[in-house]
Amino acid sequence: MKNKKIFMIFAAVIAIGVIAVAFFSFLKARNVPTVTRNNAENSESDTPQQNEGMTLSGKKISWRGKEYVYNTDIRNILFLGIDKHEEMQAQEYAGRGGQADCIILLSLNTKDKTATMLNISRESMTDIDIYDMSGKFVETQEAQLALQYAYGDGEKRSCWLMKKAVANLLKDIPIHGYMALNIDGISVINDVLGGVEITVPEDYTFIDEAFTQGATLTLTGSQAEKYVRYRDINVTGSNEGRMERQNQFLKAMVQIMKEKNQEDSDFIDTLFSVGKPYMATDLTAEQMEKYASYTLNDAYIKIPGETQAGENHDEFIVDEEEMVDVLVKILCIQT
């Protein structure tokens, strides 16, 4: 009996070890940093490390010899495109919820009813919070921003973690809401809209033979997914071109939503209902309808920096000073 009990304990230990190895092997394959349990036992905090120095959430900001304050008329919504098929569901373990391939901060000026899209590279090297299998905070490491999503539950907690990481990267700006959309949701929403029309900026026939430079296309659902998702991972900096396509597609999609909503006051409700299984958001249909009426800035704006080849993947090094120039212009007013 005693030997049987010892054997059962031994078997349980082996089983736990196999699960742990499989989990961390999966994260490693996805380029997600892993850490040891010893670090977790020495950590009590679930709060991310903050950028030192200047923040944009204070009452006054001194920058390049001028004084600014944060524009309180602005509401920032974080949009995330997740590289995972199937419906959006909370996952039991970290690492199964996908990564944030598209990261865009939508800044909405509630006073003049305008909106600006700020594109953030998924490969931005920044501090992200690492969690163990039980969901306990371990430590903060520098890694690609996109990986932060993987350490959550693939739904609300992942979005919450991304909000904190993006706010930290962008000098502690306030983020008032989020929307995350899975890959399958792009196809579904595209088709509900009747297809999104785009003009292909350069030759992307390696993605789809229809994507010839200068071609004007009304994308099918599967084409829409390809257009915003695919890139040549063997080419350093290929994410830059993909970001531009994502920006182009989303702006065209918003314009169609705006037109459809003017024709049918119930359209946003319909779109929200159809897309809901593929998204995680803290926005209501009423908020989406209101924001859809805003005038979107046509300029392509992104966080400045430079892509370099890392040991295992591309790394986007943010230019801190130029980034603050962009943020102050979009989010602040001079006093």
What confidence tens digit (pLDDT) does each residue in 220-267 have?
Answer: 999 999 999 998 887 888 899 999 999 999 999 989 988 898 898 888
Residue type, 227: Y
Query: CA 322 → CA 146, 274, 306, 327, 329, distances in Å?
Result: 21, 40, 12, 9, 11
Structure tokens at 251: 């702006």
The region, left, alpha or beta by phi > 0 then psi within -120 to 50, assigned to residue 68 is beta
Residue 140 has pLDDT above 50, yes or no: yes
Supply angle C-alpha 204, 208, 214, rounded to 5.
45
Contacts of 330 (CB under 8 A, 6+ apart): 107, 116, 118, 301
State residue 23's pLDDT score.
37
State residue 48's pLDDT score.
46
Residue 94 has pLDDT above 80, yes or no: no
State residue 236's pLDDT score.
85
Evaluate whether 126 touches 146 at the Cβ level (below 8 Å): no
Give the span between the Cα atoms of 140 and 130, in whole angstroms. 6
Taking residues 146-152, report their average pLDDT.
93
- Domain 31-334 sits in CATH at 3.40.630.190
> Tokens 């009590």 label which residue?
44
State residue 25's pLDDT score.
39
Band of pLDDT at residue 290, cut at 50, 70 and 90: confident
Nearest to 229 by CA among 180, 184, 191: 184
Beta strands in 265-331 (DSSP E): 279-281, 295-296, 301-302, 305-309, 314-318
Per domain, the residue ranges of the chain are: 31-334
pTM of the predicted structure, to 2 decimals: 0.81
